[in-house]
Structure 1
């Protein structure tokens, strides 16, 4: 089933090309930057374009996967609806057409007759992309296709994408804001158990050529299924059971300081407690996908967020990669309510069930907040310190 993961890599790069094109091609960039001007007459139109970029990425992923794996496209879920209403009141369903010209014609209806922008967007949508990983080509694993579901966040950290800051400086490798915080997230999960199986995080804006102003990106992936754990940050395939995952048990591992990446909107009580645990190694950053990626990259031990404003499409991709690395993403509220005990099963986030009594996007919210981690030992120690630094009321909320 590595062929599915290989195709997800490819479509994530096609999605990254769309995201980059919207910033680098003048006809598209002018639509994006209108979002930044408060008095702009076409602000509604610009906002629609922002959403159109999201929708196009999501539809490209859906339709490419469906063409290669019939039936799978209907099991791809995300935040965006692909139905638009233009200024004439005409409802238009955005779908990838069979030819570039037909797609341009459809997009022109959405963009109120803006032909240059429509043609530029259609061109990049239909461009062939070749992105492979030789490690995956040698992997033989069979996952029944009928148990697979896919969560997609087509452009995570949309505000940073629209704002487009390219000159933000990193703090010990972590970008607090800017285009580097933008990610494309594709997570595959088991529809029966809810556990994440495969994940792809594509970071379209990693480094910029200062002469051409063109961006290069980076792609990360992971697979965790039936004792096989493999990811893009390792050199060789590692096969091991969950209870045989690599652990970090040396004295130095337990004694070295913690580091955490957090949201700028985190509660002050949580910020203060995390600061007491981590000292100066607390890094605010934009984008749920990017903060999870910081943990994947080893730039932080922990990504912690207490609010219920991340969703399944924000966490599934990183969760699969972290599982392949011996880590995971857990429900923060449940972790704080069950003081950490060695050997106790952790409340991993699951991806197949709606939240009871919720509606709209809240059906798929991570209601208890989340903690992403690479090492179970480090998480247990972090949680024990965090609980000590939180008052009783905070651990029960």
Structure 2
């Protein structure tokens, strides 16, 4: 069944369908208020005082899982995501979010979560089951090798990265071209495909549902993709930095990054930008608007990095293990080889990360960190 189906095109269309769902949910404040549910316990990210999941998160994740699993059944059991499929409605009822075979079936399940808001459930179900051909608007999407073993492929999904930004919607801009500190611009949909035996990411999609503002409260997507295989390297990412000053070095960081880490970069004459969202910060490196994204803490997960890493690999860069790379004084890529579920931390990038588009810039950085 997979012979005449291009996985990359499927994922691009899934990302746009995800963006449509995100925009529909975000366009109505009353609906958004219904959708938000605070994460607790093991689901919460300990970096934040409050962490949230939304029905949009869960619905997007399950839509992608449904779409890809239907077309590539050999991949179905290895399509993983950030969110639990369990959602509790205002009556305290726990409901498992699932995508049905028809919009009517999907709407019935959503209506239970939305406590009888039939029109909202039907609107969301319509987006889930809408035919999307966003790939037709993009150029130079390659055919994938016929030898690709789909049974050896896994998928990591972050349905809405920067959920807090998605909920708040407030935007704060920086002095750096293309870099937003907070707000809807920081929201991304991340899809990454990796080889299960080697753990190497090979296909990545990073979509910004709110990438282009058309008019008040009306947005369209910006989408970047990349493929990195032994016989195929391809991407749609811009390759110049004309908007940046010559010899300007920019690092992008979380506002919670350690002061001593930031000082190392200042010593190397880097300018420091701060932004929300792991996916957004990686995207700034992908788009050549920042030279490096470094996070010294283990607060990102496989779903945050798999997609961006595949794109960066297609560009000649990578996402690296921060601790291992400094210790070994060479680039050590983050790896996604399947691990035992009994390892409680198996989904986390416990050693932090370094994302670069140009591996050549690492030498002075690794040397600087080795001195301290």
Q: Same fold (TM over 0.5)?
A: yes
Look up the match of 1:256.
Answer: 247
Q: CA deviation at 1:49?
A: 9.0
1:126 to partner: Cα distance: 2.0
Matched, 1:127 2:130: yes
Question: Are the counterparts in 1 of residues 284 and 290 from structure 2 also a CA contact under 8 Å?
Answer: yes
1:365 corresponding residue in structure 2? 348
Give the match for residue 262 of structure 2.
Answer: 271
The alpha carbon displacement at 1:98 in A equals: 2.2
Are residues 1:179 and 2:184 paired?
yes
Q: 1:300 to 1:169 in 2, by over 3 A?
A: closer
- Separation of aligned partners in 2, 1:29 and 1:86: 14
Q: 2:225 aligns with which of 221, 224, 233?
A: 221
CA positional deviation for 1:129:
1.1
- CA displacement, residues 115-139 of structure 1 (integer Å, 9 cap, x when unaligned): 2322222222222211114422555
Following the alignment from structure 2 to structure 1, what is the Cα–Cα distance between the partners of residues 328 and 94?
50
Tell me the TM-score normalized by structure 2: 0.86
2: CA distance between counterparts of 1:109 and 1:49? 20
Bigger shift: residues 65-74 or 187-196:
65-74
Counterparts of 1:111 and 1:148 in 2: how far apart (Å)? 35
Cα distance in 2 for partners of 1:278, 1:18 equals 42
Q: Give the greater-gyration-radius structure (CA).
A: 1
Q: Is the 8 A contact 1:49 1:111 kept in 2?
A: no
- Does the Cα contact within 8 Å between 1:32 and 1:162 map onto a contact in 2? no
SS in 2 for 1:201: strand
Does the 8 Å CA contact 2:103/2:125 hold for their aligned counterparts?
Answer: yes
- Residue 22 (str. 1) matches residue 25 (str. 2): yes
Q: State the SS of the aligned residue for 1:366.
A: coil
1:57 aligns with 2:42: no
Question: Distance in 2 between the 1:92 and 1:197 partners?
Answer: 34
Aligned to 2:212: 207
Q: 2-side partners of 1:24 and 1:169: how far apart? A: 25
Q: CA deviation at 1:145?
A: 0.6
Q: Distance in 1 between matches of 2:114 and 2:147?
A: 43
What's the counterpart of residue 77 of structure 2? Answer: 74
Shift of 1:336: 1.5
TM-score by length of 1: 0.81
Displacement of 1:33:
8.2
Distance in 2 of aligned mates of 1:33 and 1:96:
19
Higher helix share: 1
Gaps of 5+ in 1: 36-46, 236-254, 341-345, 392-397
Contact 1:27/1:117, CA 8 A, preserved across alignment = no
What is the DSSP-based 3-state SS (H/G/I as helix, E as strand, rest coil) of the residue aligned with 1:221? strand
Alignment of structure 1 residues 142-181 onto 2, 5 Å = 142-166=147-171, 168=173, 171-181=176-186
| Distance in 2, Cα, partners of 1:291 & 1:299 | 10
Q: Deviations over 1:54-110 (max 9, x none)?
A: 110000000011121123222101121112343445432211122222222211111
Distance in 2, matches of 1:136 and 1:144, equals 19
Q: RMSD across aligned C-alpha pairs, in angstroms? A: 2.6
Report the 3-state secondary structure (helix = DSSP H, G, I; strand = E; otherwise coil) of the residue aligned with 1:135.
coil
**Which residue does the alignment assign to 2:332?**
347
SS of the equivalent of 2:141 reads helix
Structure 2 residue runs of 5 or longer lacking an equivalent are 39-49, 240-245
More strand by share: 2
Cα pair distance change 1:77/1:192, threshold 3 Å: same
Q: CA deviation at 1:232?
A: 1.1
User: In 2 relative to 1, CA 355–74 (structure 1 residues): closer, same or farther, beyond 3 Å?
Assistant: closer
Call closer, same or farther: CA 1:357–1:259 in 2, change over 3 Å.
Answer: farther
